Structure 1
Amino acid sequence: MIRHILKIMWNQRRSNGWIFAELAVVAAVLWMMIDTFWVDYRTYHAPLGFDIGNVWRFKLSDLDAKAPGYMPDSLYHSSDPEDLTRLMTQIRQNPEVEDVCVTFYSCPYSNGNSWREVKPVDGDTIYAAHMESFQMRNVTPEYFRLFRIRTVDGEPVYDKVAGRHNVIVITPEMAEGFYHGAPNIVGRRVYHGGHDLSSEIAAVSTSIRTNEYERPEASYFQCLEGETYNSTVSSFGASSAEFCVRMKRPYTQNEMNLFLDGMGERLKVNNLYVYGITPISSFREQQLSQKEREANNKISLMVFMLVNVFFGIIGTFWLRMQNRKGEIGLRMALGAHRITLERYMYTEGLCLLAFTLPLIIFAFNMVYMDQLDSYRQPLTFMRFLMTFGFIIFAFNMVYMDQLDSYRQPLTFMRFLMTFGFTYLLMGVMICIGIWFPVRKAVRLAPAEALHYE
């Protein structure tokens, strides 16, 4: 049957050529949409590296000089670090509280943007030549326990940093840039903020992302313990701290307000006090609102394009089958079975789609070669000529960086999944476009169907 179908398709090559061109263009557009959806979906559902469940951020401030209970400087016998530590202790002692930590511009979804120059003391990669700036998160050791951050080996990071002074925790991306996968990274030292300061690497955490729409970046945590804690709190001020509390069970806003009322004076140390609370999930919603609007607009556009593609392909094959009623009637008059005719038409439509597959193979070859080595394969006219049509589109998408290779790498699995779903979807559309007119045509009496011939 396949040989017979190919012979007929060749004899009808003029009309089939236009259908083939349409399928190639549609495949290109559909592939781009599916690839975009693939990247967004995979990025959104990738691990964040932390957990914000039941975590609340307590808002801190200093009493005004005219406020009741204000302590003047003459009676003030403690420092900002001491006041903040005492407040953490008082809140942690409540049986409903699981853990407490303090950060400075480093809380999840806080839009913190602190950067510092860092250089490995004994690294042998490009970063060893000069200082590079990386995002820095100033956190107390309890931060890792509160947000459930683990090492790349699955162990709690808190156990690696508790009680240790002047240590940092780096992400895998930073470790790869510094040491290129070398073993025994823990224990090495890095310079930061100039060559006068150095810290020991206490652990390598899992990848940390700022939100669900971004990929993980190279960054590190500066553990605030001892003198590092005192100097940081004194520099920024205790009231500027991001005071995070994890409760042992989920709380509503009203329940948390009652919790604060029950804490009473324990929410105040000298002039430092808690004046409000906000769940971390609210900061997440605020930060993602713009991203989600953009994602919804993108999905709406994709749905609109998909509907157009759907009706375009179905309409093309619908009209094609309508114009071939005479051929169907002739085959029935010559004794062809109804089921055989339906199978024949489905196979013919799918063969037209399958003819674009060689272009896909060439397209992937272009993508894969250029991803690995564009030096040995120059961009010549012959190279474009041999990959005419859809291959040019696919090549341009990669070469002009139209595909999102920043958040998700261009891997064989990504290519296979996106193109596989593209062709599966197009195959379903073609079968729907063939099904109804062929179903009607094969149920006509042969004599009536021959009128169309």
Structure 2
Amino acid sequence: MRIPLLQGNVSDWNSTASPLPAVLTRDLADSLFQTSAGAVGREFLDYYSGGLRYRVSAVCALQKTDDYARYGPFVLTPFPGWFYEDQYLPFISLRIRPEADTDNFAARFYQDMTSQLQVAPFYLFDIQSYKDQKIERDAAEGITPYIRSARLIVIFFVFNVFIGLMGTFWFRTRHRRSEIALRMAMGSSRGRIRWQLLGEGLLLLALASIPALTICINMVMADVTFTEATDATWGRFVICVSIVWILMALMVIAGIWYPASRAMEVQPAEALHDE
């Protein structure tokens, strides 16, 4: 939770002669000290400001700036003095227990702690959760519109494939009424006919998946896929292909099950007479 404060003045951290604490990711520590195991306690200079010295207080894993960015090297350091001088509303951050993080926590905290936090030259001005800040930041940086557009595109293509694939097998099954009636007249059970039709549909899907899978593999090997957010690994490829194949199999089943059930409700003599 972030709490903005109004204040009179702030000290300049650039004027201190002692090194400031810093937290590095493992790969960044390796590039600076050729090891991450003994990096804690060692010092390094700021690349952009040679007068600033930092002492490594901890080494952490790779970090990322938002939910959709890549993990990368990071260094966490205190803000310099000019940041607080130019800041209109300085703030402090508080971490609370998960069970205390309720919807009305900010209102209760503001009501209970306003008088206790009015210590000159500071006083409590506002309370804002990091969840709300994340929503505002994602919207300002275009992440939210991008995710919405991507979801709409995925839904559009899935709906079109659903209508096309299910409609094809629906039309194909309805035009096999006479065949279904003949099989029933010859003594085949409804369950056997239904599973035979489903097996044919899934077999056609499997045969059509072979050239499609070949094209997809060549696209991944040619590096023409979108790899800015994540790497095009073979594990991710297998997971995505499996999910797509399962969704298409469900569409095939939906396009066969219902029209086949309706066709088997018609008496065999009536269906053969219509033909």
Using structure 1 for the length normalisation, give the TM-score: 0.49
User: Residue 42 of structure 1 aligns with which residue?
Assistant: none
- Among 11, 19, 22, the residue aligned to 1:81: 11
Structure 1 distance, partners of 2:136, 2:49, is 39
- Among 72, 81, 101, the residue aligned to 1:217: 72
User: Residue 244 of structure 1 aligns with which residue?
Assistant: 92
Query: Would the aligned equivalents of 1:186 and 1:201 in 2 still touch at CA under 8 Å?
Result: yes
Q: CA deviation at 1:223?
A: 4.6
Q: CA deviation at 1:352?
A: 0.6
Give the residue type in structure 1 aligned to 2:91: F
Give the 3-state SS of the residue equivalent to 1:356 in structure 2.
helix
Structure 1 distance, partners of 2:64, 2:213, is 34
State, as a whole percentage, how many aligned pairs show the same letter.
Answer: 22
User: Residue 316 of structure 1 aligns with which residue?
Assistant: 168
| Structure 1 pair 361–291 and aligned structure 2 pair: CA distance change class (3 A) | closer
Query: Would the aligned equivalents of 1:168 and 1:201 in 2 still touch at CA under 8 Å?
Result: yes
Structure 1 distance, partners of 2:36, 2:27, is 15
Structure 1 distance, partners of 2:234, 2:45, is 39
- Alignment pair present for 1:287 and 2:137: yes
- Alignment pair present for 1:60 and 2:3: no
Query: Would the aligned equivalents of 1:189 and 1:199 in 2 still touch at CA under 8 Å?
Result: yes
Q: CA deviation at 1:452?
A: 5.0
| Structure 1 pair 246–361 and aligned structure 2 pair: CA distance change class (3 A) | same
Q: How does 1:194-343 map to 2 (within 5 A)?
A: 196=50, 199-223=54-78, 232-233=80-81, 235-238=82-85, 240=87, 242-246=90-94, 251-253=105-107, 255-264=109-118, 266-268=119-121, 273-274=122-123, 276-281=125-130, 282-289=132-139, 290-343=142-195
Identify unmatched segments of 5+ residues in structure 2: none
> RMSD of the alignment, in Å?
3.5
Q: CA deviation at 1:200?
A: 4.7
Structure 2 distance, partners of 1:195, 1:427, is 60
Query: Would the aligned equivalents of 2:25 and 2:74 in 1 still touch at CA under 8 Å?
Result: yes
Give the residue type in structure 1 aligned to 2:165: I
| Structure 1 pair 80–439 and aligned structure 2 pair: CA distance change class (3 A) | closer
Aligned residues: 260
Structure 2 distance, partners of 1:312, 1:277, is 54
Structure 1 distance, partners of 2:170, 2:39, is 65
Give the 3-state SS of the residue equivalent to 1:263 in structure 2.
coil
Give the residue type in structure 1 aligned to 2:273: H
Cα deviation 1:357-416 (Å, max 9, x = unaligned): 323553464356x3xxxxxxxxxxxxxxxxxxxxxxxx6xx41x4x2x222221222112
Structure 1 distance, partners of 2:258, 2:84, is 73
| Structure 1 pair 284–361 and aligned structure 2 pair: CA distance change class (3 A) | closer
| Structure 1 pair 191–255 and aligned structure 2 pair: CA distance change class (3 A) | closer
Query: Would the aligned equivalents of 1:179 and 1:185 in 2 still touch at CA under 8 Å?
Result: no
Give the 3-state SS of the residue equivalent to 2:167 in structure 1.
helix
Query: Would the aligned equivalents of 2:181 and 2:269 in 1 still touch at CA under 8 Å?
Result: yes
| Structure 1 pair 320–180 and aligned structure 2 pair: CA distance change class (3 A) | farther
Structure 2 distance, partners of 1:253, 1:213, is 31
| Structure 1 pair 325–181 and aligned structure 2 pair: CA distance change class (3 A) | farther
Cα deviation 1:269-316 (Å, max 9, x = unaligned): xxxx34622324332231133533442343234333323322222211
Structure 2 distance, partners of 1:192, 1:288, is 29
User: Residue 436 of structure 1 aligns with which residue?
Assistant: 258
Identify unmatched segments of 5+ residues in structure 1: 1-54, 63-78, 85-137, 139-163, 225-231, 371-394
Which range moved further: 344-353 or 321-330? 321-330
Give the residue type in structure 2 aligned to 1:81: S
Give the 3-state SS of the residue equivalent to 2:37 in structure 1.
coil
Query: Would the aligned equivalents of 2:19 and 2:55 in 1 still touch at CA under 8 Å?
Result: no
Give the 3-state SS of the residue equivalent to 1:203 in structure 2.
strand
Query: Would the aligned equivalents of 1:56 and 1:246 in 2 still touch at CA under 8 Å?
Result: yes
Cα deviation 1:236-271 (Å, max 9, x = unaligned): 45573843141655532364155223433x141xxx
| Structure 1 pair 362–306 and aligned structure 2 pair: CA distance change class (3 A) | closer
Give the residue type in structure 1 aligned to 2:157: M
Using structure 2 for the length normalisation, give the TM-score: 0.76
Q: CA deviation at 1:339?
A: 2.0
User: Residue 75 of structure 1 aligns with which residue?
Assistant: none
| Structure 1 pair 180–338 and aligned structure 2 pair: CA distance change class (3 A) | farther
Q: CA deviation at 1:422?
A: 0.8
